[in-house]
Structure formats: C-alpha cells, structure tokens
Structure 1
C-alpha cells in the first residue's frame, strides 16, 4: 500500500495471507497489533476493508471494519459500510442497527438514510422505510434513488397514486433510470392503467434490454391484459437473464393456468418453490392446480401442511382455493383474514364517508364481474326486477364488460348500469360515494375478476358480501354477509 513503510507492508501481507487460509483470528490479531502500534494506520485498514468488500469477500471486509470500529467509534463511515455488508448478506436487523449507529454520528447523511430505507424495504418494514426516505428527500430532493425507493414503499402501503408520483419524480431527475421505469408499472397496474404499465416496462427494457425485473413486470402487465402467450415469453426472457428467477417462474405458472396448460403450470410452481419455499400463496396455488387435474398423490399430507401454515398466520393459500380443500369454518375464516390483511387492507385514503343528506329513496349498488351469462346473474336477475322502486334506487357496477343476452336484460332492469372495468379501485369507490350509495353489495367476493380493493376504500356506509363467494371475506370493512343455514353453521 502506497505511503507505507516496508515493515508495515509485510504486516498487511501477513493479514491477507491469514485471510486466504481462512484464519480470521490470526488476521484480526495482526490488524489489532497494527492499530495499537500506530493509530494513523487506521486509514490503511479502512482501505483494506473496502478492497475486500469490492472483491465480494464480505467476511474479510466485515472482520476488518469491526476491528476498526473498536478504535474509531465516532466514524460513521465504518458503521455505514458494516451496515451495507450485513444488508448484502441478508441480515437486515444487523444492517439497520449499524445504520442507526452511523446516523447517531451523522443524522443528516443522505446516503446512510437511503440505504437504511432500502434495507427497511427488504425487511418489509414499509412504514419505517417511508419515514426514512421522506426525510432523505427533504434533505436532498435531487436524488433519484431516494424517490424510486420511496415509490416502492408507497406501493407496498397501497398508496398507489403517491407511489406513481414518487417514481415520476425519480424519472424526472434521471430519465434513463430503468429500475424506476420498470417499478412504476406496479402502481399503474393497481390503478388499472394497464397499457401505461406496459409502456413503462417497454421504456425500461429499451434502456436496459437484459433487465430481468423489467421482463417480469412486462409479463405481469401482459397477463393483466389477458395476453398470456406474450406474458409467458416475457417471463422466459427474464429467466434467460436470471436463471433462478423464482418470481418469473411463479408468474409464468399463473399464465399457463389461464391457458389451461395445467401440467406445465404445476412444473413451474414446483421449480419456483424449490428455489424459494417462502413465495406468498404459492403452496395454495400449486395444490389448487393439482386438484384441477385430479393429481391426489400425497393430498392429505399437503392439506395438513396448508392447515398448519394457516394456523401460523402464514401467507400460504388464498381463500377461494381453500374452500375446495377443507370444510372447517374456522380455517376458512383465518385464511380470509390473512389474505385480506396482506392483499386488501383497509385503506383510508378517501377519508370518512360524509353523512348523506336525506333523500327519498335508498341507493343500493350491486358490484359484480358477472353481469353476463353466469350463474350469479341468472340467480339474481329477478330479484333486481322486484325491488320496490318507490323506496329503492338500484345501481349496477359492472366490473367486467360483457356482450350477451343476460347483460342486455340487466341493462333494462337496473335504474343505473355503470361499466367500471377500466377504472381503478379508488376511482370506483370515489364514484360510489359521489352517487350517495347507501348499501354496497359485493356479488364477487374472492372469485375471478374480484375487486375487493373497492370496499377497502369504503364505497358505502354499509357494505355486504352476498352470493358470489360462499364464505366470510375476513374483512372488518365488510359489515354483513347474507347467508342461510347451509352457508353458515
């Protein structure tokens, strides 16, 4: 090392040789003696630690930094780098502890704040991540990475428009920020702006064609557009650039399911699980897929695993898939509660519903993806016809637009028939409030094309689950379920 006398150079060579042999105790002992002999050598030890970190020899770097921290307790750079290494190793708690030590010394260091926010995101502590990144962007509003990470936190807190705004600011600051363009697609999907989501992914991939997450997100947008073959092609491209890309495999399995290529879907689910056994909901998806082809080998054992996971509050199976596997109401309720907590938590973005002025008729709105040739419509059409129009005004919120004879019949039954397929959950909830809907009846529940997020925003003072999903939704914002003794024991 430059500027170092011959004897000190020999000592550092011995340190590196000890590390090479895997003898960390010897290496640390020599480093300790170097620092005791002359504290001015701390800079050389720091450079050694950095060089090991850059070479991805994280254990050696960590050992060097930790020893250095004994001598330089007031150096934020040491704790910052230790935090980075723990973060790279996946030890989020230790990373956060060291970032906090660094911030005690330099509380306004934006680099430390950004990395702490990123680690909070990795640890799924999105509330803390947002707090940290808010402060970082206040201190330095010109750093694109801080805005992009803020977008991730906001998206995971179901604050989709705010997330989109953060990504747009990151892109304004750095128009070629491919990660921000790609990640922007997530809140756009949640806002039901699917074509814009696809366009964002295409821009990301035009900047960096070999970006695996860009192909994953493009595939997700194409899946939402029901362009399943193209989605599968995108997932395969992601796997080309990242061979152990378990999220691409699980998403590919979903698209294969839609194409009724069940055996291929099962193979993708199983491969994804072999790479990461902790993917949300995937065990339930796999078991449900096996049921579709009547693959019952080990079915009892697999159901017991699912039951145990539900009792442990794990995100193992969606409620609809569980209905066909167990008839235990307690487990069904618990599974719904877990699913709603993580997928559709109560969202207060629209605030409390204002009290309605007195009106002559009660406004009842039925929300369904099945106002078409479907059992739900067949079972309910006459009911809509016989509502007492002197007391009730009847609305249909059609979540999926159809063109068939049942839809045509329903158009003539409802007082108001509103197609909302292309609107986001928050837009639909806002519309229901604007129309002074008194009672919102969800006819879809957790079945195909459901939009539970509408009710998470509180579309009406009274919200009811009925018919389409024969079970509890486990949501505290659903006030009632209409059922009989067959449905509820």
Structure 2
C-alpha cells in the first residue's frame, strides 16, 4: 500500500468514527480496499454503504467492477444488475454487465448479448460492446450450424452482422450460413460484401467461385477460384472448385490439371477424385471414371451424391451386370434412403376426383430431358390432373420460366432439406409424386423414403432402378422393359401400352434439308452424344464403318470439343484404326435452331452402345437423319434398349442391327443407296410425328391412366 492510499484509508476511518452513517466514506473506503486486493473487505463496506443509500447507482457499479477484477463473475453480475436497475441508461454499465455474465450456457450468453446490444443502442459508436456481442453470437451460432440447424445459425449471425456491418469475418460466416440454408442469392451478396471489406479474403473468393459455378455463372466462378489461388496457391478447396468450373465450361483438360493439383496437395480428396472422374468421362473415357468414383465412395462413404454418381457411371460400362447394379442400388438405398415414413397422408380417397400430380426434378431447365417433359405437360388433361412441379435446379434459365408457366403449382425446392421438402409436399396435398431424376444430378431420392404422398412413382429416367423400395411403380413400357426384366428393378413395373417417351420437335427446329451426300460427294455419319458413351467397342465399330464406306466422314459434336486435349484424345482413339483424318469435331453453336441445323450436315447418325442416345436420337429422326442402333443383348440394362425401343416405335426396325457385323453391313447398305436414303430423309419427320414415338397426346393419356390406376389402388387399400 503506497503512502497516499494509507493516508486516505486513515482519513476515511476517522470520518466513519465520527459519522458511522456516512455512506460515501464507507463506499470510498470499500473502493480503496478493492484497489488494494482486499476483495471481501471491499464487498462488506460497499454493501453497508448500499444499505445506507439504496438509490446510489455508483455503489453497486463499483462493487461489480471490483468483483469483475477479482474473477467472480456471478457476484459481479448481481452487482451490475443492481446498478442498472437504478441507472438503466448507462452504456458502460450494460457493457460491463454483458462482460461480467458467465458465458458457459446458452441462456447466459443470450443475456450477455442482450446487455451488450443495449450498450450499443445507448452509444452506437461503442465498438467494444458491438465486438463482444458479435463474438458471442458467432460462438452461439456454431453448435446450431454443426447440428444442421441452419436457420437458427443464420439468425444469430444476422444479429452479429447488424452489430458489426463492416466486419469481414462476420460477413463471411453469415454468407456461409446462408449458403447452407440454400439462400444462394443472399450468400452471393454476403460473399461479395466480404470481399469489398477484405479483398484478400481467399476463403471468400473460393466460396464465391463455387457458388457462381452452381448458379450457372461458371466462367466467373473459375475466375473467382483463380483469385483465391493467387492469394493461397496451396488452397485445396479452390483447386477442387476450379476443376468443377472448368468441367462445367467444357474445358476438361484444365479440369484434369486442377483436380490433379488438388490431389497432390490432399491425396484422397473425394471432391478432387469426383471432378477428375467427371472430366475424364466428358473427354470420352469410360472405365476410369467408374473406378475413380468407386474410390471416392470408399473415401467418403457418407456422401450420397458421390455414391449416386458412382451408380450412374456403371450405366456406361460395356460389361453391364444388371444383378450387380441392382445390388449396388439397394445398398445405396439402405444407407441413404432408409424408411422414415411421415404420418399417414390425409388425402381424400375419392377414386375419380381430380388428382394433384407432382413431378420432382432438377431438369426443369435447358436440359435434354426437358424436350420430352414440356410437350407432355402441355398435353395433360387439366380437368383430370392438377400439375405441380418441384424444381431442384440451382441454375434456372428461360426454359425454367416456361415450365413455371405450365405448372398449376410451382415450387423452387433446391434449398430445402429432405425433411423440409417432404413436409412441403405433404402440406401441398400431393396425391401422386413422380421422380424424374433417378440417380442423376439434382435427385432427391431420400424424400421418397418419407412417403410424403399416397402414391409414389419413378419413370426410370435412365431406364434403370433407383434401388428404393418406397415406390409404388416404375412407369415404363414393354419395349424399354420387356417381360423378364422385372428382376432388374427394385420397383414394381407398370407398363404403358406404348413407348413411355414421346417426342415432339420444338418450334425452333428448321426444315429438313436435302441429303448432304448429294452435294458433298461422300457420306457423312455423325453422333451428337455425350462422349462418355463412346466405349472402346463403339469407337472400334464406328471406325470399321468409316473404313467400309470410302471417303466417308464422321462428325462428332459435343460441348467437350471446346477442349483441345479432348479433341486430341479422340483423334488418338480413332487414329488407332487409321481414321483420325476422317473426323470432324464440332462445338455446339449458340441457339437451338443452329444446333438442330447441324443435323442437315449428316446423312446417317450412329448410335453408341451400350448407353444409347436418347434425345439425340429423336432430334436426328426429326431432322430426317436415320439412326443406326445396336439391339440389346441378354442381361443388358435398359439404357441399351432405348435406341431399339425408339426405332421400333417409329416404325424403323430395319435400322436395328442385331450385332456388330450387322451394324457395319447396314451402314454400308444405307450409304450405298443415296436415292433411297434421300427418300427416307424427306419423309422421316412426318413418319415419326405419326408414329407412337411422336404421339405426345397418346402418351399423356397413357400416363393419366397410369396415375389413375395407382391412385385407385391406394383408395381401395385397407387403412
């Protein structure tokens, strides 16, 4: 104790001897004791002063400060409460009270934040209080985020951002929370705000890159990922995001390089392996992607999207095994879609009433499958069916707006969890829920395990099982799923009386042009299919066709042709058969009409196998180009029956080859009779339009009858 403190203590003591009721002296002596480490003596003296002057707010305030300094937060908080009850507009008091409250429990943290927020309201420039409150809110948000309680975490972070709007760290956390909530627009805004505040925030650049790619702005996404890597060259996540963006842009050689860089930094990174698989598949590799995705599944057994991608990759393999695929699909379903039924639906079981039929898909956008869906939806009898569309796309476009205009009920559901989506479907009173995705991108198969609708069906978008036992039917037909194929499906088959896919060419399609061979002097074969369908057997057979038809050419068109390394690989594969110089590799032009017009440069289209063309086959036929396909073999999956089913439905069985020899022979026959080929070309569009393949109205009636059959079964079932 220094001399002045000793003198002051003696003076206060003498005052109290003379006037024991002197509250200020007792209070000041207590403060002095607190300053010299005698906490209990200080507390006793200030407590006595408070009893003498219960209205003095500074007495309990000083006691609280002493107890704070002594590490006694509970007693300090009680003293702060007393002081604030007497002087509630003291910003410093609220700040000290918020700091004094123990922060070991949620309710105490909330009380502390409330106190600190009050201090900020009293003195808006008090960054100490704002910073402390924001920190506590971030701490409070973490367990909610880790438990998947995204809305709760986001709300807390929104409060934090309101306290410190110029704090880049809080903005970043808020952006991440909004992204987890599925609010991509909000997340985009917050990531951009983060970068305004902190241009060197590598994590914000990386996350922005991922988000831009997901929402259809892949070039900007790639540039954002490159900014992140300029700041942190060893940033694994940014290399992964960059490889994804390059893949989306069709620059697969760059995607391979970026994925390899990520794997070098983090061997076994499942995202990098998955992106590498996607790039190699798009470049025309078939076997490696499946092996890579199998490895990714082993590394990340809880990632259902990776597992779905692996299942999907099996469809492209030459040596397909339906029993193995069914077993793999069922294992996927057991892990990711176990039964989790909601309470029984309350739908009114009237057999003949108007039905609310809902379709769930990520392809309500400019996607090949949309060319089947839009005409079908427009053809539905709306007096019998109320059309509900649930869209999981994250990159809507002008085609999305067209689908929205068709629907009686439209829901954007990409941001919803499986539970939230199932609850939404149930609240909407959906009678029949139809899956349009199977294991393709944007699928929400676990929703069907919750049984949100009385009737659930899949239409086997890729003519393959989902593996899930929660469907009442897989709606198909006898061509795609002939008798005996029931063992390939986990779902009961409900066969329509005609092909379950009908095609109607879009209004943008140009007129069919004259046969190109008549002006060129040589025959042009072509395929505009995804390159991951080009198995080694397919390449060998197409090369055989080229060698059999003198001076013939093969046009391959796909967005992968934007990539020089993809083109080099293709030339090398065909070069092994001496026909590399007969290839023409095209990038898709801009616009639907221009893409269709490219068919006017083809004389004959070649269908890959075992994964046949789908939309490309219909487009070629619509543009007068005959498509030569291979018949399916025993044990093949449904993807190998698509070409056969379409050509049979179109009345073109002579374009179905029973084996490779017949395929090559038929190609030579077609190419050798140009007059017959020109005649076939001129009438092909009308022929398709008049056939079951072009009968969209008949397809709509068949689907309506199927839905009604399933609905009546449910109505008749005991409850």
Q: TM-score, normalised by structure 1?
A: 0.59
Q: Secondary structure at the match of 2:165?
A: coil
Give CA-to-partner distance per residue, 1:44-99, whole Å, 9 cap, x none. 32332222322125445444433443443332111111111111111011111111
Partner of 1:279: 362
Give CA-to-partner distance per residue, 1:276-331, whole Å, 9 cap, x none. 82332799989999xxxxxxxx9745999599x9794449899xx9x9689995xx
Matches within 5 A, 1:60-459: 60-225=152-317, 226-243=320-337, 277-280=360-363, 300=381, 305=387, 312-314=401-403, 332-333=505-506, 362-367=521-526, 399=538, 413-415=548-550, 426-427=566-567, 434-435=581-582, 440-444=602-606, 449-450=612-613
Partner of 1:483: 682
Alpha-carbon shift at residue 434 of structure 1 (Å): 4.0
Q: Secondary structure at the match of 1:277?
A: strand
Residue 52 to residue 217, structure 1, CA distance change in 2 (3 Å)? same
Q: Provide the rounded CA distance (Å) in 1 between the counterparts of 2:527 and 2:164.
A: 64
Q: Provide the rounded CA distance (Å) in 1 between the counterparts of 2:401 and 2:614.
A: 27
Residue 199 to residue 95, structure 1, CA distance change in 2 (3 Å)? same
Q: Secondary structure at the match of 1:200?
A: helix
Q: Provide the rounded CA distance (Å) in 2 between the counterparts of 1:166 and 1:134.
A: 11
**Corresponding residue to 2:626 among 463, 467, 473:** 467
Relative CO higher for 1 or 2, CA cutoff 8 Å, sep ≥ 6?
2
Give CA-to-partner distance per residue, 1:235-263, whole Å, 9 cap, x none. 33333332289xxxxxxxxxxxxxxxxxx
Q: Secondary structure at the match of 1:443?
A: strand
**Contact 1:142–1:173 at 8 Å: present in 2 too?**
yes
Q: Provide the rounded CA distance (Å) in 2 between the counterparts of 1:229 and 1:281.
A: 32
**Corresponding residue to 1:8 among 94, 98, 104:** 98
- The Cα RMSD (Å) is 5.5
**Contact 1:211–1:241 at 8 Å: present in 2 too?**
no
Alpha-carbon shift at residue 151 of structure 1 (Å): 1.5
Q: Provide the rounded CA distance (Å) in 2 between the counterparts of 1:135 and 1:109.
A: 10
Q: Provide the rounded CA distance (Å) in 1 between the counterparts of 2:134 and 2:328.
A: 44
1:35 aligns with 2:120: yes
Q: Secondary structure at the match of 1:449?
A: coil
Residue 401 to residue 108, structure 1, CA distance change in 2 (3 Å)? same
**Contact 1:28–1:64 at 8 Å: present in 2 too?**
no
**Contact 1:35–1:42 at 8 Å: present in 2 too?**
yes
**Contact 1:45–1:64 at 8 Å: present in 2 too?**
no
Residue 50 to residue 222, structure 1, CA distance change in 2 (3 Å)? same
Q: Secondary structure at the match of 1:181?
A: helix
1:48 aligns with 2:127: no
Residue 120 to residue 312, structure 1, CA distance change in 2 (3 Å)? closer
Residue 111 to residue 286, structure 1, CA distance change in 2 (3 Å)? closer
Unaligned runs of 5+ in 1: 21-25, 246-272, 290-297, 338-360, 370-396, 454-463, 472-479
Alpha-carbon shift at residue 154 of structure 1 (Å): 1.8
Q: Provide the rounded CA distance (Å) in 2 between the counterparts of 1:287 and 1:465.
A: 18
Give CA-to-partner distance per residue, 1:348-398, whole Å, 9 cap, x none. xxxxxxxxxxxxx855321369xxxxxxxxxxxxxxxxxxxxxxxxxxx99
Alpha-carbon shift at residue 157 of structure 1 (Å): 2.1
Give CA-to-partner distance per residue, 1:100-144, whole Å, 9 cap, x none. 111001112111111112222343432322221122123222111
Q: Provide the rounded CA distance (Å) in 1 between the counterparts of 2:546 and 2:361.
A: 46
Alpha-carbon shift at residue 171 of structure 1 (Å): 0.6
Q: Provide the rounded CA distance (Å) in 1 between the counterparts of 2:583 and 2:296.
A: 42
**Contact 2:525–2:606 at 8 Å: present in 1 too?**
no
**More displaced, 443-452 or 229-238?**
443-452
Q: Provide the rounded CA distance (Å) in 2 between the counterparts of 1:284 and 1:182.
A: 23
Q: Provide the rounded CA distance (Å) in 1 between the counterparts of 2:387 and 2:268.
A: 46
Q: TM-score, normalised by structure 2?
A: 0.42
Residue 198 to residue 10, structure 1, CA distance change in 2 (3 Å)? same
**Contact 1:400–1:449 at 8 Å: present in 2 too?**
no
Partner of 1:379: none
Q: Provide the rounded CA distance (Å) in 1 between the counterparts of 2:251 and 2:615.
A: 16
Alpha-carbon shift at residue 177 of structure 1 (Å): 0.9
Q: Provide the rounded CA distance (Å) in 1 between the counterparts of 2:192 and 2:223.
A: 14
**Contact 1:442–1:466 at 8 Å: present in 2 too?**
yes
Q: Provide the rounded CA distance (Å) in 2 between the counterparts of 1:170 and 1:46.
A: 35
Q: Provide the rounded CA distance (Å) in 2 between the counterparts of 1:243 and 1:279.
A: 19
Give CA-to-partner distance per residue, 1:185-235, whole Å, 9 cap, x none. 222222221211122123223433444333222212211113343333333
**Contact 1:118–1:129 at 8 Å: present in 2 too?**
yes
**Contact 2:527–2:555 at 8 Å: present in 1 too?**
no
**More displaced, 28-37 or 202-211?**
28-37
Residue 217 to residue 86, structure 1, CA distance change in 2 (3 Å)? same
Q: Provide the rounded CA distance (Å) in 1 between the counterparts of 2:608 and 2:506.
A: 13
Partner of 1:459: none
Q: Provide the rounded CA distance (Å) in 2 between the counterparts of 1:412 and 1:100.
A: 56
Aligned pair count? 373
Q: Provide the rounded CA distance (Å) in 2 between the counterparts of 1:148 and 1:55.
A: 27
Q: Provide the rounded CA distance (Å) in 2 between the counterparts of 1:180 and 1:213.
A: 14
